[in-house]
Structure 1
Amino acid sequence: MTIKVFAPASIGNVSVGFDVLGMAVTPVGDQLLGDIVEISAAVTDVSTLSLSGEFANKLPGDPKDNIVWHCLELFNKELINSTKSVQPVDLVLEKKMPVGSGLGSSACSVVAALVALNEYYQKPFNDSDLLFMMGKMEAQISGSLHYDNVAPCFLGGMQLMVTDTQVITRSLPTFDDYYWIMAYPGIEMSTKEARDALPKQYSRQDLISYGQTLATFIDACYRNDPKQAFANVVDVVAEPYRQSLLPKFIETKQYLLANGASAAGISGSGPTVFVVCENKEIAEQLSNYLTENYLQSPTGFVHICKADTQGARLVS
């Protein structure tokens, strides 16, 4: 038996919700933007991990240093804790996501691996169990526990992280008529470097502004008011301190907002830019601009996307 699981890209923070908001995205058409993990019974009596895909050469040379291998170790530990037997498996990570892109690259690998393992073992763990494991793996990578990429990557749609530690996340309504452009310039951005750029303390006014814009955004989502929602996609927490780290970002965002974009911002910690457009014509125009002006290496790309409402899923 061979199982393949795809996990989609995601926009961490969505500008307005630092560490508490994320949305999964998928390109319009048949192209997959995310990672795939394949699992089958081991050919030998030990588990293995092999790598493939466009961005596999950016991963550690030793598979046992790979996050997917760490997912296997964690999953096996949880199986043993629940008095279930562990079997050797062969894993293949097809790395279709650029590393350090701000598209939830590590989350894609984590989610695809843990969902594939759960499917292979005929679902010994429920969604909450898996989400807790995904959070542990993301914390191991970034040094802090946050679910804003793994939750939408796993469950799909737009997810709001809540204070209930048993629930973790709630789905928000998405504006399905809108298009989301994802523009990855082809350069890497260290999550640690991006976090180190943030101040240790924020002013009272920043705190008020953050709470007000996030609350207004959520309210507008539930009232199906896209204009008010996207008018509040404003980042007072990270973007002011990170924008200088991203070549061409400031002038690019100014152009996008002046030429029809409903909103624009840094996806996760960057360098990918996300752009919200109310129709495909605007999306195509701005996509062409980004292709010509924001890409900085041959590995860069621009995709016109929609919200991915499926999340992680089996593929053939």
Structure 2
Amino acid sequence: MIKVYAPASIGNINVGFDSLGIALHRLDNGILGDYISILPNKKFELIQTGSFVKDLPKHYKNNIIFHCWLKFCKKINKTIPVKVILEKNVPISSGLGSSACSIVAFLKAINIFCNNPLNHNELIMLMGELEGLFSGNIHYDNIVPCYLGGMKLILIMDDINIQNIPFFKNWFWVIAYPGVELSTYNSRKILPNYYKRDVCIKHSQYLSGFIHASHIKQEKLALKLMKDFIAEPYRKKIIPEFDQVINKAQELGSLNYGIAGSGPTLFYIFNNLVHAQNMVKWLEHHYIKNHKGFVYICVINTIGTIVMDMET
């Protein structure tokens, strides 16, 4: 049996649309990610458990894991009969890289199960292909940090190029999922097909400046440059009570804020733990809509996807 854990993640981080992302680790060491277990079997079988199992498709052929299995088998030109146990702990359509969690955990697990027929780059490319299958566009800003941990800048040229970006270890990331879904596909559809030249210039300046500030450890400059000119102006209109919540965050000492991926999860950055805890209390009473919602204080997960158990 192979058991793998893949953490939740945040893509974009405001300034790096489809290019920049972080992996998350709860400060209280609680679970914020998906588990995949793979065992030998006579045929493909999928068992679904976890906190958000009720949100998954009931028929296994509609689950992303089944499509991952099909793609992997086609890639290695061999049908692998396995039993897969998915423990779904990241809500779907939340902006926390839910599909990336399942994709990354499964592909890492089955690749190990099959004695690693795919190399590192082949795995990442296949992960991105499957992410695009469900979101409408291939993007790696959740896939790569989920797989490798840390803050990652992903450059697509002739091949995929992954850059490690230094991050500020004193930052606490408060993440708040209200408990309502927001389709990644629909969130991408509301974005314009074209942007004005001045928006493109400003976006380039802020992204390059943020990367530079991160490398030279200029915290104030990095925070000032962490702005979203591409998605937030359009997506904030479909985020519940966006302006009200952001105003309160600033009042409570948030250094910055943003939409996690496509939303509706929002994140807030603090360098004072007490302020972060005060933000959590306020969000729990004013932003969470139902029992599915949650608020956690997180730091950046530096490890990424890990093997929890491996028995031969």
Equivalent residue for 1:60? 57
Alignment partners' CA distance in 2, 1:257 and 1:157: 26
Alignment partners' CA distance in 2, 1:104 and 1:221: 23
Equivalent residue for 1:264? 257
Please give the per-residue CA displacement for 1:269-289, whole angstroms capped at 9, x wherever unaligned.
Answer: 100001111121221111111
Deviation at 1:86, TM superposition (A): 4.2
The answer to whether the Cα contact below 8 Å between 2:131 and 2:139 also exists between their aligned partners in 1 is: yes
Say yes or no: does 1:76 pair with 2:69: no
Percent identity, aligned pairs only, is 40
Give TM-score, length-normalised by structure 1.
0.95
Residue 273 of structure 2 is aligned with which of 267, 280, 296? 280
Equivalent residue for 2:306? 313
* Matching residue's letter, 1:79: I
Equivalent residue for 2:3? 4
Residue 147 of structure 1 is aligned with which of 140, 149, 155? 140
Say yes or no: does 1:158 pair with 2:151: yes
Equivalent residue for 2:131? 138
Alignment partners' CA distance in 2, 1:114 and 1:226: 36
Deviation at 1:117, TM superposition (A): 0.5
Alignment partners' CA distance in 1, 2:184 and 2:160: 26
Deviation at 1:196, TM superposition (A): 1.8
Secondary structure of the structure 2 residue equivalent to 1:16:
coil
Please give the per-residue CA displacement for 1:116-149, whole angstroms capped at 9, x wherever unaligned.
Answer: 1012122222221110010110110111111111
Deviation at 1:30, TM superposition (A): 2.4
Secondary structure of the structure 1 residue equivalent to 2:152:
strand
* Matching residue's letter, 1:34: G
The answer to whether the Cα contact below 8 Å between 1:107 and 1:149 also exists between their aligned partners in 2 is: yes
Equivalent residue for 1:207? 200
The answer to whether the Cα contact below 8 Å between 1:128 and 1:166 also exists between their aligned partners in 2 is: no
Equivalent residue for 2:107? 114
Equivalent residue for 2:167? 174
* Matching residue's letter, 1:48: E
Greater Cα shift, 161-170 or 18-27: 161-170
Alignment partners' CA distance in 1, 2:255 and 2:112: 39
Equivalent residue for 1:35? 34
76 and 225 in structure 1: CA distance in 2 versus 1, 3 angstrom threshold? same
Residue 296 of structure 1 is aligned with which of 272, 289, 292? 289
Residue 236 of structure 1 is aligned with which of 219, 229, 254? 229
Aligned length: 309
* Matching residue's letter, 1:171: N
The answer to whether the Cα contact below 8 Å between 2:179 and 2:289 also exists between their aligned partners in 1 is: yes
Equivalent residue for 1:222? 215
* Matching residue's letter, 2:171: Y
Q: How does 1:248-263 map to 2 (within 5 A)?
A: 248-263=241-256
Give TM-score, length-normalised by structure 2.
0.96
Alignment partners' CA distance in 2, 1:28 and 1:165: 38
Please give the per-residue CA displacement for 1:167-204, whole angstroms capped at 9, x wherever unaligned.
Answer: 33211111122111110000110112211211222111
The answer to whether the Cα contact below 8 Å between 2:252 and 2:278 also exists between their aligned partners in 1 is: no
Secondary structure of the structure 2 residue equivalent to 1:110:
helix
Give unmatched runs, 5+ long, in structure 1: none
Deviation at 1:229, TM superposition (A): 0.8
Alignment partners' CA distance in 2, 1:154 and 1:213: 26
Equivalent residue for 2:238? 245
Alignment partners' CA distance in 2, 1:71 and 1:141: 11
Alignment partners' CA distance in 2, 1:159 and 1:223: 16
Alignment partners' CA distance in 1, 2:158 and 2:172: 32
Equivalent residue for 1:51? 48
* Matching residue's letter, 1:311: G
Secondary structure of the structure 1 residue equivalent to 2:8:
strand
